[in-house]
Amino acid sequence: MVNVALLDRDGVLNRDRPDYIKNAGELEVFPFARDAVETFKAAGWLVYVVSNQSVVARGLASRGDVDGATSKLIREVGPVDGVFYCYHKPEDGCECRKPEPGLLLQALAAAADVGPVEECWMVGDSARDVEAGRRAGCRTAVVLTGRLTAREAKGLEPPADVVADNVGEVAKIITRLRAG
Ligand SMILES: [Mg+2]
Ligand SMILES: [Zn+2]
């Protein structure tokens, strides 16, 4: 039975931008992102990226641009077990755009021999990541490298199970919880 980390991308693994990440050149991977993936891998976890990428539907980037950014991410953080994007716009009313849980459920379905979903973790930088995680039945962690201040992160409703400075810290904390 394996543990699963579902990681948001922008604001967690790389710096977010108010005008979206539109190509590989705009994707600036955080230095602790590689440590985080390595920590999860060393502990035997599966790692999936689950990210809203409406940038294509908004006409700001091509699918090829998004693929280029994904390739850069994987080069810099190391291999992950899967990358799941929602390409829809908010008004499309899809089931995969967070805070809907569909994207997380797709990733969990792809994970073979996954343990109980309530032992899986969603790691994000926004209220909608935490909401999506809870709706998927996962535990949740929120980092302070994206949309939320520490005060906002601690005041989320529903609350996250863990609030940490960055994804590297989250990886250390939650792999230790499972080991202990
Ligand atoms: Mg984010
Ligand atoms: Zn969608």
Query: What would the 3-class secondary structure string for the chain be?
Result: CECEEEECCECCCECCCCCCCCCHHHCCECHHHHHHHHHHHHCCCEEEEEEECCCCCCCCCCHHHHHHHHHHHHHHHCCCCEEEEECCCHHHCCCCCCCCCHHHHHHHHHCCCECCHHHCEEEECCHHHHHHHHHHCCEEEEECCCCCCHHHHHCCCCCCCEEECCHHHHHHHHHHHHHC
- The CATH number given to whatever domain includes residue 23 is 3.40.50.1000
Q: Summarize pLDDT for 26-78 with one digit per residue, the tens.
A: 999 999 999 999 999 999 999 999 999 999 999 999 999 999 999 999 999 99
Domain of 99 in residue numbering reads as 4-179
- pTM to 2 decimals? 0.96
Q: Summarize pLDDT for 118-146 with one digit per residue, the tens.
A: 889 999 999 999 999 999 999 999 999 99
In percent, how much of the chain has pLDDT > 90? Answer: 91
In percent, how much of the chain has pLDDT > 70? Answer: 98
Task: Give how many domains the chain has, as a whole number.
Answer: 1
Q: Annotated catalytic, 125?
A: no
Q: Which of 10, 35, 81, 125 does the annotation list as catalytic?
A: 10
Say how many Å lie between the CA of residue 145 and the centre of ligand 1.
9
* pLDDT at residue 179, rounded to an integer: 65
Q: Annotated catalytic, 8?
A: yes
